[in-house]
Amino acid sequence: MRQRIILDVDTGVDDSLALLYLLASPDAEIMGIASTAGNVPAAQVAINNLAWLELARAPEIEVALGAAEPLEIPLRTTEDTHGPHGVGYAELPAPTRRISQRSAARMWVDLARRHPGELLGLCTGPLTNLALALREEPELPRLLRRLVIMGGAFDHPGNTTPTNEWNIHVDPEAAKVVFDAFSAAPPDRRPLICALDITETIEMRPAHLIRLAERAGSHPIETVSPIDPPTARSAASNPIIRYLTDAVRFYFDFHHGYDLGYLAHMHDPFAAAVALDPALARTRPATVDVELTGTLTRGATIADRAGMWGRPPNADIVVGTDPVRFFDRMIARIGDHARTVYPGEPIGEPVGRRR
Ligand code: RIB
Ligand code: CA
């Protein structure tokens, strides 16, 4: 059965892979995409979403523009991590599709009200627009079937400050609104949280890109490396593989630059895979809250697993998975989809740019 999803992203290199994963998944139907400011400004996120949908020859899917700023603090973006336009080195063809007339928050509320109890919410960016939607419709936690969030760090260092994970750091007030709102959710509807604790074990490497290209029947098979100049561009015959390679290579360079290895943490496609199939993850309930007043720790996510605060659990935190099983599934789905969408790219002289 296809799971109907509201996707809320700050596209982003790994958000791009999450979107491609869902488009490639026969058990997923994207009902709408909220473009949230984070990795890059909201307008650029929306353009990236439209561009990937067009490149992937996806059906018409609503892309709504989110708020320009977080709830209470100025927007911080991270082009150094995801590239000048948020999709690494990829220069995606400008989309002809247009964004929705309604806001991202309005789309959340309208879709949830129209499909009560049916929709899965998946957030892989800051929670600004979900928080705005909760202000419009406090019943959202009961209207959604389930919520999956990529965000936070619990027994694990942050990636933005020593304690903070990016999506929460960008808009801590929004995160607190969301976690508080779901405090009343019944156990089977507690948000599933994919935090850095688990997503930093999902390490994509050049070999995964090779497997993706092979699965897609793309040519030539390219091996990206840290000595590739920033001006290098994939010449893969399959356009999805070509632009995905250019996007991910920037993310490899970023992690390599911080001595994390020539790899990329696939936070968002992992959250998408868990959203479609929670059996991929082992979870533990906890009461999650967000620090808003700490001098050094503002924006940190805290998990009480022992009921010390006397408050019921409001989240299921992913504490275990099998990264190999995830990558096998992601490569199979995106690779097969790329081959289906672009079946007969000429073998030999690729249409792309030379490396
Ligand atoms: O901290 C990782 C998260 O922040 C990912 O969702 C990445 O895309 C950025 O949004
Ligand atoms: Ca993201």
Q: Could you read off the pLDDT of 65-90 as tens digits, one per residue?
A: 999 999 999 999 999 999 999 999 99
pLDDT reported for residue 345: 56
Helix and strand counts by DSSP (H, E) for the chain: 13, 11
Residue 352 pLDDT > 50, yes or no? no
103 and 75, same structural domain?
yes
Q: Whose CA is nearest to atom 1 of ligand 1?
A: 166
> Is 291 exposed, middle or buried (CB count within 10 Å of its CB: 0-12, 13-18, 19+)?
middle
For 84-113, the pLDDT digits (tens) are 999 999 999 999 999 999 999 999 999 999
Say how far apart CA 183 and CA 68 lie, in whole Å.
27
Residue count of the chain, please give it. 355
Mean pLDDT of 283-304: 98
pLDDT band at 28; cut points 50, 70, 90: very high
255 and 291, same structural domain?
no
Q: For ligand 1, pick from 11, 150, 154, 171 the residue to mutate: most ligand atoms within 8 Å of CB.
A: 150
Residue 349 pLDDT > 60, yes or no? no
Mean pLDDT of 179-193: 92
For the Cβ of 15 lying below 6 angstroms from any atom of ligand 1, the answer is yes
223 and 164, same structural domain?
no
CA 352 to chain centre: 27
Please, which residues bridge with residue 63 across strands? 33
176 and 317, same structural domain?
yes
Residue 348 pLDDT > 70, yes or no? no
Q: 354 in a domain, yes or no?
A: no
CA of 11 to the centre of ligand 2 (A): 6
Q: 347 in a domain, yes or no?
A: no
pLDDT band at 344; cut points 50, 70, 90: confident
Say how far apart CA 276 and CA 254 lie, in whole Å.
29
pLDDT reported for residue 334: 98
Q: Tell me, what DSSP letter sits at residue 116?
A: T
> Is 343 exposed, middle or buried (CB count within 10 Å of its CB: 0-12, 13-18, 19+)?
exposed
Ligand 1 atom at minimum distance from 10 CA:
10
For 13-26, the pLDDT digits (tens) are 999 999 999 999 99
For 220-273, the pLDDT digits (tens) are 999 999 999 999 999 999 999 999 999 999 999 999 999 999 999 999 999 999
Residue 64 pLDDT > 70, yes or no? yes
Q: What amino acid occupies position 45?
A: V
For the Cβ of 158 lying below 6 angstroms from any atom of ligand 1, the answer is no
CA of 9 to the centre of ligand 2 (A): 6
Give first-to-last CA distance, the chain, whole Å: 42
User: By residue range, what is the domain housing residue 216?
Assistant: 207-262+330-341
Say how far apart CA 294 and CA 297 lie, in whole Å.
5
pLDDT reported for residue 97: 97
pLDDT reported for residue 305: 97
- 151 with 167: CB under 8 angstroms? yes
The ligand that comes nearest to the alpha carbon of residue 9 is: 2
Q: 349 in a domain, yes or no?
A: no
SS3 readout for 253-306: HHHHHCCCCCCEECHHHHHHHHHHCHHHEEEEEEEEEECCCCCCCCCCEEEECC
In three-state secondary structure terms, 319 is strand
73 and 166, same structural domain?
yes
**Residue 80 to residues 27, 160, 253, 257, 295, Cα–Cα distance (Å):** 34, 12, 10, 11, 26
Q: For ligand 1, pick from 8, 9, 10, 77 the residue to mutate: most ligand atoms within 8 Å of CB.
A: 10
73 and 149, same structural domain?
yes
pLDDT reported for residue 203: 98
Q: 353 in a domain, yes or no?
A: no
Is the pLDDT higher at 185 or at 271? Answer: 271
Number of domains, the chain: 2
- 68 with 37: CB under 8 angstroms? yes
pLDDT reported for residue 354: 39
Q: 71 in a domain, yes or no?
A: yes
**Average pLDDT, rounded, for the chain:** 96
Q: 351 in a domain, yes or no?
A: no
For the Cβ of 171 lying below 6 angstroms from any atom of ligand 1, the answer is no
Ligand 1 atom at minimum distance from 167 CA:
4
pLDDT reported for residue 351: 43
In three-state secondary structure terms, 11 is coil
- 148 with 191: CB under 8 angstroms? yes
Residue 350 pLDDT > 50, yes or no? no
Say how far apart CA 39 and CA 72 lie, in whole Å.
18
Q: Give the CATH number for residue 134.
A: 3.90.245.10
236 and 173, same structural domain?
no
50 and 35, same structural domain?
yes
Q: 252 in a domain, yes or no?
A: yes
309 and 253, same structural domain?
no
What percent of the chain lies above the pLDDT cut of 90? 95
28 and 160, same structural domain?
yes
168 and 185, same structural domain?
yes
E-only strand ranges, the chain: 3-9, 28-35, 63-65, 120-123, 146-150, 192-194, 203-204, 264-265, 281-290, 301-304, 315-321
Q: 295 in a domain, yes or no?
A: yes
312 and 288, same structural domain?
yes
What percent of the chain lies above the pLDDT cut of 70? 97
For the Cβ of 3 lying below 6 angstroms from any atom of ligand 1, the answer is no
- 70 with 176: CB under 8 angstroms? no
In three-state secondary structure terms, 54 is helix
pLDDT reported for residue 186: 84
Whether the CA torsion 300, 130, 194, 7 is positive or negative: it is: negative
